[in-house]
């Protein structure tokens, strides 16, 4: 999947270069470079995003109205995209973890009607809940 995003970033960078070489002003080129920088920073992290923004800034310097504002926008797009990518990855990991716990609890709850008596249920619970305790502790309290 990262290859697809890398290809999109490269295509965006090349479109920006093409527009610059065709003589379009810098404000037509800058958004394409910002997209490329944002994709790289979001997928590969902030260091690579900063490297991409430096590359984009050096390429943007070849085309006439280059300013410090353009450099600031490139750096800002790298920083914002990195933060968004980080929060999306965290949310995805959390959703996967919650889905895993939900599957394990559902399988444990499906075992309730299948147990012949209370003793059989209590004996089967540890093996059914074992996967929940892989990264922590699971206890069964009997009252």
Q: Where are the alpha helices (DSSP H) in 45-112?
A: 46-60, 68-110
What pLDDT score was predicted for residue 94? 96
pLDDT band at residue 46 under the 50/70/90 scheme: very high
> Considering the chain, what is the average pLDDT of its residues?
86
What pLDDT score was predicted for residue 41? 95
Q: Where are the domains of the chain?
A: 2-92
pLDDT at 121 over 80: no
Higher pLDDT, 52 or 101: 52
Segment holding 3, helix H or strand E: helix 2-21
């Amino acid at each position: 999947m990262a290859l697809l995003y890398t290809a999109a970033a490269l295509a965006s960078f090349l479109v920006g270069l093409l527009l610059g070489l065709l003589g379009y002003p810098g404000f037509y080129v800058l958004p394409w470079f910002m997209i490329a920088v944002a994709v790289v920073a979001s997928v590969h992290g902030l260091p690579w995003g900063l490297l991409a923004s430096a590359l984009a800034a050096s390429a943007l310097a070849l085309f006439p109205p280059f300013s410090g504002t353009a450099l600031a926008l490139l750096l800002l797009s790298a920083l914002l995209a990195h933060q968004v990518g980080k929060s999306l990855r965290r949310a995805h990991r959390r959703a996967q973890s919650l889905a895993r716990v939900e599957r394990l609890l559902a399988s444990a709850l499906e075992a309730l009607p299948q147990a012949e008596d209370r003793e059989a249920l209590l004996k089967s619970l540890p093996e059914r809940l074992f996967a929940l305790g892989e990264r922590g502790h699971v206890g069964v309290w009997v009252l």
